[in-house]
Structures are given as structure tokens and as C-alpha cells.
């Protein structure tokens, strides 16, 4: 895989132009979705991902804010894909058994 440097010190682009945190396999979007989902501060992000330095976290967040529209569209597309898969999979056997026993609605 070829990585391309960006103007962000700790962010590189892979062959598909996906932004990654340099020296890791973590995508910027993965860090950002964790922050959005849990409301984590940069310090909490580092606690959750101790292999990331604060400068890498801030660089990833800066990249996100500078490319917010594009990355938000990617997040939305991923959510739609997951919902499509969930609907195709249907109800799990466990949920069916629990519903039959009236343990869930």
C-alpha cells in the first residue's frame, strides 16, 4: 500500500485516498465516529486509544473539521449501508425466541 503525505503532520492518505492516522491502521473517520457517538474529548479519545498521541488526535480532528462535509457524507453512507444489512438480515433467532416468551416487545 502506498501512503501519501498530507498538509496535516500526522495524517496520510492510502491508495483509495482514505485519511489514516500516520503509523497506525486507524482511519480518521473511525476516531471521529467514536467522538461523535460518545461525546469524547481529545483526552478521553487518548484514554480509549492509548497508542495515539495527543498531537495525532488533534491532527485527525483538524483534518475532520477541514473536510467535514466530505467525511460526514461518508459517515452517512456507512450508516445507510449498515441499516440496509440489518434489514436484509431480519430478526435474529435469539430475538424471535425472546419475543415468543414475551421477554421483549
Q: pTM of this prediction? A: 0.80
Q: Strand 19-21 and strand 11-13: pairing?
A: antiparallel
33/26 Cα distance (integer angstroms): 12
Confidence of residue 6 (pLDDT cuts 50, 70, 90): confident
Q: What is the pLDDT of residues 37-51, one digit of tens each?
A: 999 999 999 999 999
**Residue range 10-28, pLDDT digits in tens:** 999 999 999 999 999 999 9
What length is written for the chain? 105
pLDDT at 85: 95
- Report the pLDDT value the prediction gives residue 105, as an integer from 0 to 100: 86
What pLDDT, on the 0 to 100 scale, is given for residue 5? 82
Q: What is the pLDDT at residue 1?
A: 79
Q: Where are the domains of the chain?
A: 4-66, 75-105
Q: What does the pLDDT look like over 53-92, one tens digit per residue?
A: 999 999 999 999 999 999 999 999 999 999 999 999 999 9
- In DSSP notation, 58-105 reads HHHHHHHHHTHHHHHHHHHHHHHHHHHHHHHH-S-HHHHHHHHTTS--
Amino acid at each position: 500500500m502506498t501512503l501519501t503525505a498530507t498538509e496535516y503532520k500526522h495524517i496520510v492518505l492510502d491508495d483509495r485516498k482514505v485519511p489514516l492516522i500516520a503509523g497506525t491502521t486507524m482511519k480518521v473517520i473511525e476516531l471521529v465516529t467514536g467522538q461523535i457517538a460518545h461525546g469524547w474529548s481529545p483526552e478521553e479519545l487518548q484514554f480509549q486509544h492509548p497508542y495515539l498521541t495527543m498531537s495525532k488526535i488533534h491532527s485527525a480532528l483538524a483534518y475532520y473539521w477541514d473536510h467535514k462535509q466530505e467525511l460526514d457524507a461518508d459517515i452517512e453512507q456507512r450508516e445507510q449501508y449498515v441499516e440496509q444489512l440489518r434489514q436484509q438480515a431480519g430478526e435474529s433467532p435469539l430475538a424471535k425466541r425472546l419475543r415468543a416468551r414475551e421477554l421483549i416487545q
